[in-house]
Each structure stands twice: as structure tokens, then as C-alpha cells.
Amino acid sequence: MRNTPLPGAGSLSRPALGRERIDILPDRTTPTLVAWLREHPGAEYVCRDGSGSYGEAIRQALPEAVQWHGPATHPP
């Protein structure tokens, strides 16, 4: 899953190796992303930007998922 910042406060969620859009989140807060991740379980790897709120949301909703910063096509 990759979240790409959009103009304003939202972000775009999409598969790391695909081009299709999954969803546009209304903001970049921890509670919003936690809720979204819990509604869409199963991600094992999450590529994200340096947002602390995203890191915390992933730790809460997907504690076993591997997080990394960088190109979505190069997971650790």
C-alpha cells in the first residue's frame, strides 16, 4: 500500500505495484488512517512518507506490517 500526499490535507492509497487508486483519505491524521487500515486488512508491507501520524497509525492497525520509506517498488 502506498499513500501519496495530495494538495490539501488528504492522501491517496493505492497498491504499490499498480496504478489503480484504492481510496482518497480526507486527511492525514492517525485516527483516519487507523480506521481505513482496519477496514482494509491484509497489508504486509507499507511504503509511506515521513509522516509521524502515518507511522503511528500503521503501528496501531498493522503491528506486524513492515514499514519503509522510499520507492514503492523496492520493499525491504
pLDDT, tens digit, 9 for 90 and up, residues 17-55: 666 767 888 888 999 999 999 998 888 888 887 778 889
Cα dist. 68→8, 26, 34, 71 in Å? 23, 23, 17, 9
Quick one: pLDDT at residue 2? 47
Quick one: pLDDT at residue 12? 53
In contact, 27 and 3? CB cutoff 8 Å? no
63-69 average pLDDT score: 86
Quick one: pLDDT at residue 28? 86
Task: Spell out the domain ranges in the chain.
Answer: 2-68
Residue 34: DSSP 8-state:
H
In contact, 13 and 1? CB cutoff 8 Å? yes
Residue 55: DSSP 8-state:
H
Quick one: pLDDT at residue 16? 60
